[in-house]
Chains A and B, each alone.
Chain A
Amino acid sequence: MPQREHEDHETLIFIINGQDYAVPTDFNAPLKVAVQRALQVSGNTGRPADEWEVRDIKGVLLDAQRTPRELRLHNRARVFLSLQVGAGGFGPG
């Protein structure tokens, strides 16, 4: 296998609703590509992908337009994929 291909196809572990899904990921493609795949693998296809958000293990929101390499994610990094939180409450709206 060419080294380049080996490097580009690594794995991210998506935690979706409390379950881990290992998703082969092109680390040079936008993260949203892997997000789409993770949602398919987990069966969460009822909503558009842009209603979901990805956070790293510390809870920091990740820009799905950027690549995992740009986001400094490492192979087999664990990320949370969850539906965006809607909230009521008070404050600027």
Chain B
Amino acid sequence: MAQVDPAVTRRKFENALGQLAAQRPILDARGIFLVGTPTYPSIELVFVPRRPLQFAVPITQSGSIFLPPGTSAIGTAGLPNLAARAFKAHFELSDFDLRAPSLQFRDPWTDELLDYNTMFRAFEYEKHRQVHLVLLGDHPTERRPFLCLRGIREYHEHPQHSGDDWLQYRNDISFFSIVMSVWRACIDLPQPTLIQQSTGVVQVQWSAEEKS
């Protein structure tokens, strides 16, 4: 049941869309694209990563220098034609902005929810905390992956963040700012690296650039 006058929350929804339209060149430059014609209360954006995938390979020789027997090193090389998969960010702005926007990560082709086991990872970096993972696998009430970041409904309505209420921030954090935060955590900081294990199995390791 709606908690906010529908006319009010629809006007705020339109304002959020207006912010995206006004800053479209910035969104385009970051690989963030509005999908379809948004219909209240949903806004869908596709985020397209462009950071080259890294490939880690074991090294036994560096130039003319051979490593001692039994030792190994790992070198990495960029694969400029490959990047992480694009994803769709499905935002729900019901009761906005009494409640923060809700965010689901979906497959851009099938619209299915992404599986935490096979999806990307998201990070935040702060000087004091250093790199930390902010994409978590199982929200206690929503039972799906969620972004544990201020401005996201699943963060503010998580039982462990009841002391960090969205109402403290809603005047200072717009929908556009939230989209920029999602870009930083999901696109700008993460670095995927392919690693081939000695067994031949190839895995993706996600790390983050230490960038304030």
Contacts and interface: CB of A to CB of B under 8 A. Distances in A.
A17 B19 contact: yes
Given A18-B19, A83-B173, A85-B149, A92 B132 contact: yes
Contacts of B124: 85, 87, 89
Contacts of A90: 132-133, 136
Given A15-B23, A88-B158, A61 B212 contact: yes
Contacts of B20: 18
A interface, over-half SS: loop
B131 A91 contact: yes
B interface, over-half SS: mixed
A17 B160 contact: no
Contacts of B211: 60-61
Interface residues of B, number: 44
Contacts of B183: 59
Interface string A50-70: 000000010111000000000
B171 interface: yes
B184 interface: yes
A85 B132 contact: no
A18 B43 CA distance: 16
Interface of B: 18-20, 22-23, 26, 29-30, 123-124, 126, 129-136, 148-151, 155, 158, 160-161, 164, 169, 171-177, 180-181, 183-185, 188, 211-212
Interface of A: 15, 17-20, 44, 46-47, 57, 59-61, 80, 82-83, 85-93
